[in-house]
């Protein structure tokens, strides 16, 4: 966050979480430590990440400005979540307990991984679309227009999810959606983690 300079705007389109007014968030000179879990060599590493602080010009409240890898109110970073979820939906992968065990020390509980998969699958299916978020269907449609013939085929392809990984059709749909998401992501962004 090298762009976080004192007095600079966080963003004109970003609303204050408390008063909801746009354009009032400005960086302060303070950096605060934010504890989080990141992928490491032997598993998951605990790390304190310095994040910039901002202040609302209207209500005077202060907030941490988190990097994209750290979700609000979560301790596990997005790279940990993505790695665990993508490993689970791969053909021939292990159970929830097995994936968590492979992650080593400081790994999440298997029920946490179960929840991540359900939430990610539901979001991918558009079940969590809200008026504030861009619908998933719009992202898929825009990608399909830019890359004709490719994205639609990747997105409609059936995934082979082992029968012992789900008990209901809803869970199967969520896991298939996760598998499609990671497959399309790997194809669209092959050089990205």
The helix (run of H) or strand (run of E) holding residue 183 is helix 169-188
Task: State both tokens at 58.
Answer: 């209207």
Higher pLDDT, 141 or 3: 141
Which of residues 10, 39, 70 is at a domain's end? 70
Q: What is the pLDDT of residue 149?
A: 64
Q: What is the SS3 assignment for 53? A: strand
Q: Judge if 14 and 58 occupy the same domain.
A: yes
Residue 25 has pLDDT above 60, yes or no: yes
pLDDT band, residue 1 (cuts 50/70/90): very low
pLDDT of 2 > 80? The answer is no
**Do residue 121 and residue 138 come from a single domain?**
yes
Which of 36, 53, 70 lies at the terminal end of a domain, its last residue? 70
SS3 content of the chain, % helix, strand, coil (to 5): 40, 20, 45
Domain range holding 12? 1-70
Cα dihedral sign, 134-140-144-150? positive
E-only strand ranges, 57-115? 62-64
Q: How far apart are CA 112 and CA 6, in angstroms?
A: 37
pLDDT over 90 for what percent of the chain?
Answer: 52
Band (pLDDT 50/70/90 cuts) for residue 116 is very high
Q: Are residues 1 and 42 in the same domain?
A: yes
């Amino acid at each position: 966050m090298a762009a976080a300079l004192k007095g600079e705007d966080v963003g004109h389109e970003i609303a204050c979480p408390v008063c909801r007014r746009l354009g009032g968030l400005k960086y302060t000179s303070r950096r605060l430590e934010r504890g989080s879990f990141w992928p490491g060599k032997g598993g998951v590493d605990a790390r304190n990440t310095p994040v910039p602080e901002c202040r609302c010009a209207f209500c005077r409240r202060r907030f941490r400005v988190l990097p994209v890898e750290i979700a609000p109110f979560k301790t596990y970073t997005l790279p940990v979540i993505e790695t665990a979820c993508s490993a689970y939906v791969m053909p021939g992968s292990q159970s929830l307990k097995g994936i968590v065990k492979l992650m080593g020390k400081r790994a999440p509980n298997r029920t946490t991984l179960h929840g991540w998969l359900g939430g990610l699958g539901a979001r991918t299916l558009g079940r969590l679309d809200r008026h504030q978020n861009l619908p998933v269907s719009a992202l898929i449609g825009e990608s399909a227009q830019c890359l004709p013939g490719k994205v639609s085929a990747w997105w409609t392809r059936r995934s082979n999810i082992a029968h012992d990984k789900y008990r209901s059709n809803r869970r199967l749909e969520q896991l298939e959606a996760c598998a499609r998401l990671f497959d399309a992501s790997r194809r669209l962004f092959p050089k990205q983690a």
